[in-house]
Amino acid sequence: MAVHWALVCHGLLTLTVVVAFLCGQWPIFQGTPISSIHRFITFGAYQYFLKFMGAVFGDKGTNLILSVEYYCCDRPNPVLQIIYLAIIGATYYIIAKTSFSYIPGYYLSGVHRYTSLLAVGIGILLFLLTSFSDPGTVKAENVSQYLSAYPYDNIIYTEKECSTCKLPKPARSKHCSICNRCVARFDHHCGWMNNCIGERNTRYFLAFLLWHFLLCMYGTIAIGLVLAGRLKELRVVYILTVYYGVDNSFGSLAPHIVQWLLGSYNSQILLMVFMAIVSLLLAGFFAYHANLCLTNTTTNETFKWQDYISWQKKLSEARASTAALKASITGMKSEGKPPESKCKSFFRRSPLEDTEAVVRNNVYDKGFFHNIYEVIFPVSTRASLLWTKSKSG
C-alpha cells in the first residue's frame, strides 16, 4: 500500500513542479504557492546554490559554477541534445522491456512492436533536421534577398545595421548572441536543438513538436491497451465479482482494479503518467507556435510588440495626465466661473480614459493560407527568389 501512495505522491509532485515551472508567471497564479515554486525553480534555487558554493569553496567554486552556466546557457553546446536522446532512448527501452512481452495481446497486434520503433525513428529524424539545418543565416551573399523579402514596418523594425555582423539588418531578423549570427525571421534559440529557430527550419520545429505529441499519445494509449488486455486475459473482473464478492459496478470495481494495476504494473503506470504529462506540454507548445505561424508572427516579435504597446500606453497616459494637469490649472486660474456641481463632477469622464488604444498592426500577416505557405515553403527556398539571387550575382 505504501508503494501505491508513493506513486500517487510522485505523480502529483511531478505535475505540480511542471505546472509551476511552465505556468507560474500566469496572472491566475500570482500570490499562490505555484508562483512561489516558479520563482524558486527559475531563480531562487540557483542563487542559493551559488551562495552555498561561494561559502564552501570560495571564489573558485563560484567561478566554476559561473563558467558552467556560461557554457550551458550562453554558448552553443550539445548538453540538452544528449539529454533528449537519453530520455527518448531510455523511455523506449523501458517500454520495450516492460510491455513488449504482452504484445501481441488482447487489443494490440504484433505490428506495434515495429510501428513504435518506426515512430521513434521519425521523431529522431525530425530532431536531427531541426538541429542541424540552417535556420536562415543572414550573410553578405543573401542579405539583399532577405531585405527584399521582408520590408520594414517602421514600428518594431527599422532600417539599421547589425553592430556585430556589420551587415544591413533585414526586418524580422535578430542577431543571436549564442550562435553569433543574424537569423532571418528569427523566432528563438532552442537549447534542445542547439540551434536557432528561424525562417528555414520553423517547419521542421513545428513537425518535431506535433510528431512528439502524437508519439507520446501513441505510447500512452498503447500501454493503456496493454493493461486493458491484461485485465481481460487474466479475467480480473470475473475473479473479483465471483470469488471476492465485489459488486459488478464501476464504483465498486474501480478501486480494486486500480490497486491491482499499481501493484502488478507500476512501471507501465509511471510511463503512462510521464508520457501523458509530456504530451500535454507538447500540445501547449505546438498550439502556441502554430498560432504564431497562422498569424505570421514570431516569438521574438511577440515580445517586441509587448514592449512597444507598453511604451505607447505609458506615453499616451503621460500625455493625458499632462493635459489633465493643464486643464486643472486653467480651471483654478479662471475667476467668476460658477462651481461645478458635485454630481456632474462625479460622472465626468477622466482624461486618462480618453487615451487612444494602441493597435497591433502586423504588416506581415497576409492571411491564413499565405502564412501557412510561407512557413512550409520559406521565401529563401522559392524558385523566384533563387532566380533573383542568380541574376543579381
With a cut of 90, say whether residue 321 has pLDDT above it: no
User: Among 277, 302, 305, which Cα is nearest to 288's?
Assistant: 302
- pLDDT computed for residue 387 by the predictor: 43
- pLDDT computed for residue 202 by the predictor: 96
Mean pLDDT of the chain, nearest integer = 86
Lowest mean pLDDT among 59-68, 182-191, 197-206, 339-348: 339-348
| CA geometry: angle 19, 22, 25, nearest 5 deg | 100
- pLDDT computed for residue 372 by the predictor: 95
Task: Decide if 236 contacts 106 (C-beta within 8 A).
Answer: no
- pLDDT computed for residue 348 by the predictor: 55
| CA geometry: angle 307, 310, 315, nearest 5 deg | 125
For the residues of 292-349, what is the DSSP string, one character each? HHHTT--HHHHHHHHHHHHHHHHHHHHHHHHHHHHHHHHHHH--SPPPPPHHHHHHSP
Say which residue, 275 or 5, is predicted with more confidence: 275
With a cut of 90, say whether residue 327 has pLDDT above it: no
Computed from CA positions of residues 293, 298, 299, 304, in that sequence, does the dihedral angle turn out positive or negative? Answer: negative
Query: Confidence band (pLDDT; 50, 70, 90) for 340?
Result: low
Would residue 190 show up in a list of annotated catalytic residues for this protein?
Answer: yes
Which grid coordinates are listed for 87? 530520455
Say which residue, 88 or 59, is predicted with more confidence: 88
- pLDDT computed for residue 325 by the predictor: 73
Query: Confidence band (pLDDT; 50, 70, 90) for 385?
Result: low
- pLDDT computed for residue 357 by the predictor: 63
103-115: average pLDDT: 92
With a cut of 50, say whether residue 309 has pLDDT above it: yes
With a cut of 70, say whether residue 289 has pLDDT above it: yes
Q: Which of 9, 190, 216, 343 is catalytic?
A: 190
With a cut of 70, say whether residue 185 has pLDDT above it: yes
The Cα diameter of the chain in Å comes to 100
Lowest mean pLDDT among 78-87, 184-193, 322-331: 322-331
With a cut of 60, say whether residue 98 has pLDDT above it: yes
Query: Confidence band (pLDDT; 50, 70, 90) for 129?
Result: very high
Digit-coded pLDDT (tens) for 34-79: 888 888 888 888 888 888 888 888 888 888 888 888 887 788 889 9
- pLDDT computed for residue 331 by the predictor: 63
User: How far apart are the C-alpha atoms of 301 and 311, rounded to whole Å?
Assistant: 15
- pLDDT computed for residue 68 by the predictor: 85
User: How far apart are the C-alpha atoms of 225 and 187, rounded to whole Å?
Assistant: 39
Lowest mean pLDDT among 216-230, 310-324, 357-371: 310-324
**SS3 of residue 295 by DSSP:** coil
Q: Which helix (H) or strand (E) holds 174?
A: strand 174-176
With a cut of 80, say whether residue 4 has pLDDT above it: no
- pLDDT computed for residue 1 by the predictor: 52
> Long-range contacts made by residues 302-308, C-beta under 8 angstroms, separation at least 24?
304/156, 305/156, 305/360, 305/362, 308/155, 308/156, 308/358
With a cut of 60, say whether residue 345 has pLDDT above it: no
With a cut of 60, say whether residue 3 has pLDDT above it: no
